[in-house]
């Protein structure tokens, strides 16, 4: 199963989701390929925002090895599940999709927990916004792990 987390800059939310889900999947013994990308290109090649690095480290997760990249159309065939952190990310990805894409594209919290909330963009706020993001992402990552372990999310047959 190949899972891609997408946000705007690929330096705050999706790198956290990438690191947290890898950690959760490892703890659950799930075989997954995980990556993250941004719909915007401003930070390509940069490591995650120091505030994401710190909040991840506070919870025992190292995201320092990640580098930002931009979402590309090839990601539709490279990943089975593409999860946007907010509705605007999902809309941007959706507009890039060809008619026939095998990948499932959706809003992270809706797909995994049936919740309609966006993971709010913490970039212009304070450290507490990053902790709030971490908590949402952690809950979503655990729910995603449970879905994969129980076979709810499956790679497409092809
Ligand atoms: P992210 O946060 O989408 O969670 O990585 C942002 C990072 C940078 C910018 C916006 C959002 N920016 O405008 O540079």
Structural contact between residues 37 and 6, judged by C-beta atoms closer than 8 angstroms: yes
Distance CA 69, CA 96 (A): 16
12 is catalytic: no
Q: Which atom of ligand 1 is nearest to the CA of 15?
A: 5
Mutate to test the pocket of ligand 1, among 38, 63, 90 (most ligand atoms within 8 A of CB): 38
pLDDT in tens, 14-32: 999 999 999 999 999 999 9
Confidence of residue 1 (pLDDT cuts 50, 70, 90): very high
Count of other CB atoms within 10 angstroms of residue 155: 13
Q: Which residue is catalytic, options 121, 133, 138, 153? A: 121
Instruction: Classify 16 in phi/psi space as left (phi over 0), alpha (psi -120 to 50) or beta.
Output: alpha
Confidence (pLDDT) at 99: 73
13 is catalytic: yes
Distance CA 106, CA 63 (A): 24
Which is nearest to 3 in space by CA: 28, 43, 31?
A: 31
- How does DSSP assign 6-57, residue by residue? EESSSSSHHHHHHHHHHHHHHHHT---EEEEEESS-TTTTPPPPHHHHHHHH
Q: How far is the CA of 129 from the centre of ligand 1 (A)?
A: 13
Q: Is 25 exposed, middle or buried (0-12, 13-18, 19+ CB in 10 A)?
A: buried
> Two tokens at 56?
């991840």
Using a pLDDT cut of 70, give the percent of the chain over it: 99
Q: CA-based angle 133:105:7, to the nearest 5?
A: 35
Confidence (pLDDT) at 135: 98
Is the pLDDT at 158 greater than 70? The verdict is: no
Whether this prediction's pTM lies above 0.95 is answered by yes
Q: Which residue is catalytic, options 12, 13, 49, 86? A: 13
C-beta 119 within 6 A of ligand 1: no
> Two tokens at 150?
């129980």
Is the pLDDT at 100 greater than 80? The verdict is: no
Beta bridge partners of 101: none
pLDDT in tens, 49-87: 999 999 999 999 999 999 999 999 999 999 999 999 999
C-beta 121 within 6 A of ligand 1: yes
Distance CA 138, CA 84 (A): 15
Write the DSSP symbol of residue 16. Answer: H
Confidence (pLDDT) at 33: 98
């Amino acid at each position: 199963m190949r899972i891609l987390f997408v946000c705007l800059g690929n330096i705050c939310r999706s790198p956290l989701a990438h690191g947290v889900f890898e950690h959760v999947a490892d703890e659950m013994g799930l075989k997954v390929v995980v990556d993250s990308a941004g719909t915007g290109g401003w930070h390509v090649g940069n490591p995650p925002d120091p505030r994401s690095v710190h909040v991840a480290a506070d919870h025992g997760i190292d995201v320092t090895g990640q580098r930002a990249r931009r979402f590309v159309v090839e990601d539709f065939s490279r990943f089975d599940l593409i999860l946007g952190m907010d509705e605007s990310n999902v809309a941007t990805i959706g507009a890039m999709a060809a008619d026939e894409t095998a990948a499932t594209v959706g809003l992270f919290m809706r797909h995994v927990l049936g919740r309609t909330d966006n993971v709010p963009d913490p970039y212009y706020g304070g450290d507490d916004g990053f902790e709030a993001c971490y908590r949402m992402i952690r809950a979503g990552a655990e729910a995603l792990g449970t879905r994969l372990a129980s076979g709810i999310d499956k790679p497409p047959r092809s």
